[in-house]
Amino acid sequence: MRKEFNDTGVCVEKRHFMVNTTLKIEKIFELIEYEKYFIMNRPRQFGKTTSLYRLHKELLLKENYLTILLSFEISSDTVFKDIESFSNYFITLFNRELKQYYPNQEIFINENFETSETEFNKLSLQITDFVQKVGKKVVVLIDEVDKSTNNQLFLHFLGMLRDKYLKRDLGIQPTFHSVVLVGIHDIKTIKLKLRPDEEKKVNSPWNIAVDFKVDMFFNPAEISTMLLQYSTEKKIKMDIKTLSERIFYYTSGYPFLVSKMCKVIDEILLPEKENQTEWDLTDIENSFKYLVKDNYTTTIFDDLTKNVDNNPNIKKLLINILMAGLKIPFVTSDQTISLAKVYGMLDTDERYCKIHNRIFEQKLYNHLLVGMIIEGKYNKLSASSDVYSTYEGTLDMPKILRKFQEFMKQNYSQKDAGFIEREGRLIFLSFLKPIINGRGFDFKEPNIGEERRMDIVITYTTNIYILELKIWRGESYHQKGLEQLSDYLDLYNKKEGFLLIFNFNENKESKEENIAFGDKNILAVWV
């Protein structure tokens, strides 16, 4: 069977090129061996279900384990309308799995268990009765736990499992050996979804769970296992180590994005290449550019922007990080930061919030910027690409910067200094967008230094321009900025760069200067 890179659904070894995740599965199984309860909560399309299916497959091979894999994904609203409906649904799913994977197992959870107990107590007794009779370590894996439409009911269910867990450790009541929940939300953010009128007393229903610390990102060495499999099977030449590191550079190991970048190269870019038997770094760069184009979307990008638009606090947080360059401490107790991390938008450098990966950063940056332009927030000037481009298909960057300098002088005064310091980058990016729209795009590097500089790479037709935006902080910072811009130009093998400086001193003047810095020529324009 011909294999492909997979970007939808569960990855299947015989059909898809896959990263070797054996070490990750072994670490998860270790938690099960130690009888831990935990939740594998990771963002959408993170390979959670693929990992769960592989874990289930491994457990089925172990004689002393009995494993039940359940999913709430296709459950209807009626399932969660009350405790009785949920209990019956749980038992039905449980027994169906038993019959499929353990056809010789005579003991099932009794669907007609006679007792005067309430429904959850009844379910609790049935679980104990089953575990006592089966004589094996019973592991329950539950996928899509946050698909429950009644989050309060589900929290009560977890409370019942918690109560049984505590009694088990006291030697009072046998129960499941391990319970593994899988979903986007952890219990804290599931509770955030409750409406105020639903918020009843729930005494930490999952505080028995251990933290799930298994790294589910794909590191460069893991990415290389997939590229090796691909290059061997399809006889494609490549420097696997170098390409794996570059894919990681753009994706930060986000599983979907790793596969998607490779899929774009294999199915879209490679057929158009003259040499169709080799991958190189240019292919990685072009795959990145393909994915971050304004007009390209896929389900995960739609979810990303939808979650921004539906959460004003997240939107404000991202604007401060992406546009204003603010360094915001990564505080997990903050609900907005916690939710943005759940959605896959944020990561931490151990101190401050940062956008998780360069692809998400560019998609979010474009979405926020276009939204602001549509709102008319920065539309005092509408520029046309025809005015600033040449017949050769290049941009006249000096002309663009001079026109922006003139625009700022005419439209903003000294009294606007506070506003410009906060919004100056957005004003320029909004000015730039219509100039390059349709023939190019701009993307920014995420590393914003202490003087709040921002590197922007502008592509226009086949040309690349490197521009740095910064706030004037004195001559020493200026020299440091020139050095940083020079280093960044080296990454793109460029000898010419541009520097746009916002100066808020009272005696400032609008000026420009051609600077010879080492082997670089840099045009600096002050506004």
Q: DSSP 3-state assignment of 117?
A: coil
The 10s digit of each residue's pLDDT in 372-395 is 777 665 555 555 555 777 666 788
Among 337, 354, 375, the domain boundary falls at: 375
In the sheet that holds 454-460, the strands lie side by side as 440-444, 454-460, 463-471, 496-502, 520-526, 511-517
* Secondary element (H or E) of residue 355: strand 353-355
- Give me the pLDDT at residue 237, please: 96
Instruction: Give, in order, the Cα–Cα distances in Å from 25 to each of 294, 316, 427.
Output: 37, 37, 48
- Are 151 and 11 contacting, i.e. CB atoms less than 8 angstroms apart? no
CA distance 186 to 338: 10
- Are 484 and 448 contacting, i.e. CB atoms less than 8 angstroms apart? no
Q: Which residue has the tokens 């399309």?
A: 45
Among 369, 234, 360, smallest CA distance to 300 is for 360
Looking at the structure, tell me whether residues 370 and 393 fall in a common domain.
Answer: no
Looking at the structure, tell me whether residues 510 and 468 fall in a common domain.
Answer: yes
- Give me the pLDDT at residue 447, please: 47
Q: Which residues lie below 8 Å from residue 301, measured CB to CB, with a gap of 6+?
A: 363
> In the chain, what are the helix, strand and coil shares in percent, each to the nearest 5?
50, 15, 35
CA distance 74 to 90: 13
Among 348, 375, 402, the domain boundary falls at: 375
Instruction: Give, in order, the Cα–Cα distances in Å from 301 to each of 53, 249, 306, 313, 433.
Output: 25, 19, 8, 19, 20
Classify residue 7: in a domain, yes or no. Answer: no
Classify residue 331: in a domain, yes or no. Answer: yes
Question: pTM for this structure?
Answer: 0.82
- Residue 251: give the domain boundaries: 220-284
CA distance 365 to 347: 16
Q: How many Cα atoms occupy the beta-carbon half-sphere of 402 within 13 Å?
A: 9
Classify residue 5: in a domain, yes or no. Answer: no
- Are 262 and 248 contacting, i.e. CB atoms less than 8 angstroms apart? no
Looking at the structure, tell me whether residues 232 and 110 fall in a common domain.
Answer: no
Q: Which residue has the tokens 């986007």?
A: 184
Classify residue 3: in a domain, yes or no. Answer: no
Among 343, 375, 407, the domain boundary falls at: 375
Classify residue 315: in a domain, yes or no. Answer: yes
Looking at the structure, tell me whether residues 391 and 526 fall in a common domain.
Answer: yes
Looking at the structure, tell me whether residues 232 and 107 fall in a common domain.
Answer: no
Looking at the structure, tell me whether residues 168 and 240 fall in a common domain.
Answer: no
- Are 317 and 342 contacting, i.e. CB atoms less than 8 angstroms apart? no
Q: How many domains does the chain have?
A: 4
CA distance 472 to 495: 23
Q: Which residue has the tokens 């506003």?
A: 419
* Secondary element (H or E) of residue 466: strand 463-471
Looking at the structure, tell me whether residues 307 and 370 fall in a common domain.
Answer: yes
- Give me the pLDDT at residue 217, please: 93
Looking at the structure, tell me whether residues 421 and 481 fall in a common domain.
Answer: yes
Looking at the structure, tell me whether residues 125 and 244 fall in a common domain.
Answer: no
* Other beta carbons less than 10 A from residue 207's beta carbon: 9
CA distance 44 to 343: 7
The 10s digit of each residue's pLDDT in 210-268 is 989 999 999 999 999 999 999 999 999 999 999 999 999 999 999 999 999 999 999 99
What residues of the chain score a pLDDT lower than 70?
Answer: 74-77, 111-118, 148-151, 188-204, 375-386, 390-392, 413-422, 438-454
Looking at the structure, tell me whether residues 438 and 367 fall in a common domain.
Answer: no
Q: φ and ψ at 455, to 5 degrees?
A: -90, 135
CATH code for the domain of 180: 3.40.50.300
Q: DSSP 3-state assignment of 197?
A: helix
Opening angle at CA 386, ends 384 and 391, nearest 5: 160
- Give me the pLDDT at residue 171, please: 83
Classify residue 462: in a domain, yes or no. Answer: yes
Looking at the structure, tell me whether residues 245 and 102 fall in a common domain.
Answer: no
Classify residue 12: in a domain, yes or no. Answer: no
Classify residue 327: in a domain, yes or no. Answer: yes
Q: How many Cα atoms occupy the beta-carbon half-sphere of 86 within 13 Å?
A: 26
Write b or e for each residue in 105-127: b if 16 or more Cβ atoms lie within 10 A of its Cβ, otherwise e: eeebbeeeeeeeeeebebbbbbb
Looking at the structure, tell me whether residues 143 and 242 fall in a common domain.
Answer: no
